Structure 1
Amino acid sequence: MSKLQVHNQIHYVIDVTLAKENWNIVVRVIRLWFVTDLAKSKIPFSMELILQDKEGVRIHGSIRRALIYKFQSQIYDGSVYFVQSFSVAANGGSYITTHHPYKINFQFGTKITSLPAQLVPESPPEYIPLSSIYAPGFDTDYLVDIIEVLTGVGIERELKKMDGRQN
């Protein structure tokens, strides 16, 4: 904890905006995944994170391809970190992972320090009932946690189309 005492202020995730550049946050990595580059299937396009502070507020974090090498061996799913010197951008795009209006982008100068796990309590997944997902008016702009749905049990078989009929 002494590493944190040298920093002026720890900010809550809910306060993160475009208004300033020097944010210091303490967060747990709730989810971590790599986005595949469609043109180069063996090389990740980015490393994506869902981060949560001790108040339970979540924000999306993104690490672009050029910086994955710097952070992938330092950041782990479920671990807690002090994160500073990152940029802030509007939370938009093809998929939106949190309801926070902003997301954070790791930069070359972003610093992360591993902290004791008890500083940010673990958070269970926020499962959404299927009835809500299929309901009219469900907001499909955001990713949600679901449990896989079993649609059937049987023997896998290959179907071939022959003379307009399936076998």
Structure 2
Amino acid sequence: MANSYTVLVDLRAGRCSNTAEVRLLRFWEAKNINKRGQLMSVEMLLVDEHSTLIQGSVSATIQLTFRGRLTEGSVYTLSGFNVTRSNPKFRLSDGPVSICFNEGTAFEKSATTTRIIPTEHFRFRPYEQILEFANTGKQLPDVMGELRAIRSTITDRLPGAQRVMLTLRLEGYARFSDIRFL
């Protein structure tokens, strides 16, 4: 019998004892520049099988418990965590909530999974929305570019979901870059 996992979109504020299966996309140290680079937390982006992206946070006081187990791109089972409202000043996902690890959080790497969990997650914003974010410090885009073309069907004979190819013009590059999404 297959394990039953909660999906990230169903999380509500409070303590969560359910288990989620997620992929760790990225993690990094958040440091306080006003206190000579003192570590505040380890921040991360997690995604589930429904492509729901959520921010995770491990406080500096317990980060050593989890630090050695963090591998970008790996799939984990996650349970016993707190769900809080997303901080509007430091919001890296569109979701209204974030995950906060605590002393009772179980975060174990999965050797295998039957779920198809994306290995990347992209957010596209219209130009007007990017202008609104300018100099606010609320959004931290990794790549800025102009969407030039979309092809809805790619026939490369690979099994699975239909493929879409986007052609992006990236700032600082002389030519266009093709990016494929599943």
Settle same-fold status: TM greater than 0.5: yes
Q: What is the Cα deviation at residue 50 of structure 1?
A: 0.6
* 2:73–2:119 contact (8 Å) kept in structure 1: no
In structure 2, the residue corresponding to 1:14 is in which secondary structure?
A: helix
- Distance in 2 (alpha carbons) for counterparts of 1:76 and 1:44: 19
- Equivalent residue, structure 2, for 1:123: 119
* 1:25–1:82 contact (8 Å) kept in structure 2: yes
Q: Does 1:40 align with 2:36?
A: yes
- Equivalent residue, structure 2, for 1:60: 55
- Distance in 2 (alpha carbons) for counterparts of 1:125 and 1:16: 19
Q: Which of the residues 4, 12, 19 maps onto 2:7?
A: 12
**C-alpha RMSD of the superposition:** 2.8
Measured at CA, do residues 113 and 15 of structure 1 come closer, stay the same or move farther in structure 2, by a change above 3 Å? same
- Distance in 2 (alpha carbons) for counterparts of 1:136 and 1:56: 25
Deviant stretches of 4+, over 6 Å:
none
- Distance in 2 (alpha carbons) for counterparts of 1:100 and 1:83: 18
In structure 2, the residue corresponding to 1:69 is in which secondary structure?
A: helix
- Distance in 2 (alpha carbons) for counterparts of 1:77 and 1:92: 23
**Relative contact order, CA 8 A, sep 6+: which one is greater?**
1
In structure 2, the residue corresponding to 1:85 is in which secondary structure?
A: strand
Q: What is the Cα deviation at residue 128 of structure 1?
A: 4.2
Q: What is the Cα deviation at residue 120 of structure 1?
A: 4.2
Q: Deviations over 1:37-90 (max 9, x none)?
A: 32132x421100110001111111000110111111011111110000000100
* 1:95–1:143 contact (8 Å) kept in structure 2: no
1:24-39 to 2 correspondences below 5 Å: 24-38=19-33, 39=35
- Distance in 2 (alpha carbons) for counterparts of 1:84 and 1:34: 22
Bigger CA radius of gyration: 1
- Distance in 1 (alpha carbons) for counterparts of 2:112 and 2:5: 17
Identity of aligned residues (%): 18
Q: Which of the residues 136, 139, 142 maps onto 2:128?
A: 136
In structure 2, the residue corresponding to 1:82 is in which secondary structure?
A: strand
| TM-score (norm: length of structure 1) | 0.72
Measured at CA, do residues 143 and 117 of structure 1 come closer, stay the same or move farther in structure 2, by a change above 3 Å? farther
- Equivalent residue, structure 2, for 1:146: 143
